[in-house]
Structure 1
């Protein structure tokens, strides 16, 4: 593990301590969890289905097309 020094304003530090206390953890644990959540959200956002999250009609068309192709053309 590495030791680092951060500079944050008093308001941010106060909020971080309050959040950590409310979650019954340390500020270090809070930062670690935040980083884990942000990286997980990025990974989900970049997935193929995630890219279609704002296009439900387009996704329906893609699915319909795939199902029609599957019914017409046997896989084996």
Structure 2
């Protein structure tokens, strides 16, 4: 095995070990999470696990404008 091949194998092993211990996962399609609520679907949709989101088109929300506490409806 040449040096480049050995480096590639090391990188793969290191990536999987780091993924195992840190909770970082990917399904090969850009879906990632760091195991702490930070996610992205590879298309610009992200959330930090605390309600902050963006759809990758400039639309952002803090996750607070859509959740009014104490709001009630009556029939």
Query: Which TM-score band applies after superposition, normalised by the shorter structure?
Result: 0.3 to 0.5
- Decide which structure has greater helix share: 1
Scaled by the length of structure 1, the TM-score of the pair is: 0.34
- Decide which structure has greater strand share: 2
Q: Which has the higher contact order (CA 8 A, sep 6+)?
A: 2
Scaled by the length of structure 2, the TM-score of the pair is: 0.34
